[in-house]
Amino acid sequence: MAVKQRLAGVRIHLSGSNKEQNEDIERFVSKFAAKIFTEGGTIVHGSHPSFNAPLKKAAEGFIDAGGDKGALTLVRAKSFATDQYAAEIDDQRMYAAVEIVPAESEDGNPTSGLTPMRDWMADRSDAIVCVGGAWWDVNKANAGVPNELDTMLELGKPGFVAAGFGGAITGYLNEEPSLIRRLKNGLGQEANEVIARGTNVDSVVDLIVEQLKNLPLSRRNVTRGRNFRILALDGGGLRGTFTAAVLAKWDDMLKAGGGNGIISHFDLVAGTSTGAILAIGLALGLNPSEILAFYEEKGPQIFPKDRKLRHWLKSKHDSTTLRQLLIEVYGEKTLAADSCCRLVIPTVRAKQGQAEAIVTPHSPDRTAYRDISAVDAALASSAAPTFFDESTWEGPIALETFLDGGVWANNPILPALAEAVRYLKIPLDRIDVLSIGTLSSESDFTDQLGKGKAGWAPHSADLFFAAQEHGALALAESFLGPTRHLRINQQTPVEIKLDDREAIQEMAARGNEAGKEHFAEVRSRFFDGRHADEWERF
């Protein structure tokens, strides 16, 4: 019988510092962390140097007993992750997961980056426990522990204060006795007073942990200390060269630094149209540089020049060519047998115009496409009306006919989120998304106003894609908030058409540039060496 861990998947924000080297605070930190680890929970802390020793002691003890270093997450603002802190960070990564929040400091003041870091911790934690802290008697506005507590309480999350050992939290409680009534931790005022004023370390730790175990916080479908990660790749035809170049640059920079490949860091990859070709290629184990070479070398074959007359009469480009080139790359592999990660590939059923997603069989009720080949899945999402013929697949029941998934989800972030929440049972607040676009331009559709079909015809598709992209991103931001979604894209002064073979090298150069520009931020948030668990096939 498996041992029940009452805090499985729960993240506790431990807020505090111990500048005065109070022995009771040090003992509290070490004992409290050890108990949380044992119960399956994770400690999240803002990397204050005075807490390093007791947290390291607890984490190393847990690791020595067979535990995971992901039980401790140490968070740093970007201004405290520069080269001068490299040795300290390397040491921390031996016993903890280190998260670097990409908040820039203002006016050269590194502490100005702490507020976004605190917001990041509050957003990702389930409860907060405060002990110690500094600055209350000198500069209350600069006292981090009260600020972190208030941020969590404003989000409706439970808090506990261990104010019997001194520090800023003691000063805050003495000045604001009503704080006890705002803790929202399920305890009455008298019980919270016992915890808040207690001076026996063991007793205070036991009381807090016991009440944490009583709260409805358990998150059993998430990996300890690590969010479920989604990579979402937009559609955009040959503009996928940009995306491939971004990924190739990141892969090169990761490997140069001794890191592992990109795809292993993601639990689910979603791709539409050209993004589907990229996503499936990555899932089958292709190196991003190989995929980039495919776009650079085969792009002109897929999108030949001078097809304007043909475009009026039939599909502008030859689907047979695309199929044959994909067969050369993917072979006869299938999503179910050969994908190293879960996939979501948006498409459209041609018969009724029904939005659909081809997915790997990662859930008992998501097995309809278990036998689909990688080639058929990619073509089903890439059959852009007027550019390519429809794609067909002989399904288990009948012949299926598909059109490009970009018709409804050119940015696949929303179907990816829906898949994770609905079928994989991942809590929305435990999901991080990295989405990559395929270049955008400064579009202005006001010139077409009032001009009827003739005026709108050349621009209608651009309008649909622009509105869809903005809508998907706005909804994703509203669901995830700014700390759990990172968008990578680049704007061009003049639109690059989705079949512009003459712009391949420009797009590759832009992708290489964007990859370099965003690497530090992406690495700290996604490529941190904490890999996705192997997915279960059904």
Q: Where in the sequence numbering do the catalytic residues fall?
A: 273, 404
* Rounded Cα gap, residues 100 and 217, in angstroms: 25
Tokens at 350, concatenated: 């041609």
Sign of the C-alpha dihedral computed for residues 160, 162, 163 and 168 taken in this order = negative
Nearest C-alpha neighbor of 229 from the set 484, 492, 439, 487: 484
Q: What proportions of the chain, in percent to the nearest 5, are helix, strand and coil? A: 50, 15, 35
Q: Is 353 exposed, middle or buried (0-12, 13-18, 19+ CB in 10 A)?
A: exposed
Nearest C-alpha neighbor of 30 from the set 153, 201, 150: 201
Q: Helices then strands (H, E): number in the chain?
A: 20, 16
* Rounded Cα gap, residues 213 and 8, in angstroms: 10
Exposure string over 469-478, b if 16+ CB within 10 A, otherwise e:
beebbeebee
Edge-to-edge strands, sheet with 97-101: 97-101, 72-77, 42-45, 11-17, 127-132, 159-162
* Rounded Cα gap, residues 88 and 75, in angstroms: 13
Nearest C-alpha neighbor of 233 from the set 487, 505, 518, 495: 487
Nearest C-alpha neighbor of 77 from the set 46, 122, 123: 46
Residue 341, Ramachandran bin (φ over 0: left; ψ between -120 and 50: alpha; else beta): beta
Nearest C-alpha neighbor of 257 from the set 523, 532, 535: 523
Tell me the residue length of the chain.
Answer: 538
Return the axis-axis angle of helices 504-525 and 288-302, rounded to nearest 10°. 150
Tokens at 452, concatenated: 């009827």
Of the chain, the end-to-end C-alpha distance in Å amounts to 25
Q: Is 46 exposed, middle or buried (0-12, 13-18, 19+ CB in 10 A)?
A: buried
* Rounded Cα gap, residues 473 and 409, in angstroms: 11
Tell the residue number behind the tokens 């942990």, with chain if given.
209
> Which helix (DSSP H) or strand (DSSP E) does residue 449 occupy?
none
State the SS3 of 37-68. HHCCCEEEECCCHHHHHHHHHHHHHHHHCCCC
Instruction: Give backbone dihedrals phi and psi of 145, rounded to 5 degrees, phi first.
Output: -65, -50
Residue 472's contacts (CB-CB under 8 Å, 6 or more residues apart) are 409, 410, 411, 413, 414
